Amino acid sequence: DSGVTQTPKHLITATGQRVTLRCSPRSGDLSVYWYQQSLDQGLQFLIQYYNGEERAKGNILERFSAQQFPDLHSELNLSSLELGDSALYFCASSVGGAAEAFFGQGTRLTVV
């Protein structure tokens, strides 16, 4: 158990819909990362938050947004969903800086 909790584990939704993925980082970790992993693809970096503030942005679509709350949990919002958004979405947390990251079990999103 990495200590990072992601909910839900599975999500099936229709095109055009909006979903929210939730991540609770390890106790004490201030940094949260979101990644998208499609079939046979690597881990695409989406966005990083540190202590409530956006720290870095990767290849995140405009239809996607995220935030980190005062209690340090984070949410990834995906809207106007398309079939191509079907993927495994991972959240990872670290104490910050260049420290090792701990990954959650992921949320598997299926858009039908």
Partner 1 sequence: GQQVMQIPQYQHVQEGEDFTTYCNSSTTLSNIQWYKQRPGGHPVFLIQLVKSGEVKKQKRLTFQFGEAKKNSSLHITATQTTDVGTYFCAGNTPLVFGKGTRLSVIA
Tell me which residues touch partner 1 (CB under 8 A).
2, 33, 35, 41-43, 45, 48, 55-56, 58, 90, 92, 97-98, 100-106
Q: CB nearer to partner 1: give 78 or 92.
A: 92
Nearest distance in Å: CB 83, partner 1: 22
Residue 40 or 62 with smaller CB distance to partner 1: 40
CB of 43 to partner 1, least distance (A): 4
Give me the DSSP letters along 6-39: EE-SEEEE-TT--EEEEEEPPTT--EEEEEEE-T
Q: CA dist 20 to 3, 6, 40, 48, Å?
A: 20, 11, 24, 16
- Nearest residue (CB) to partner 1, 92 versus 109: 92
Distances (CA, A) of 75 to 6, 106, 112: 10, 13, 22
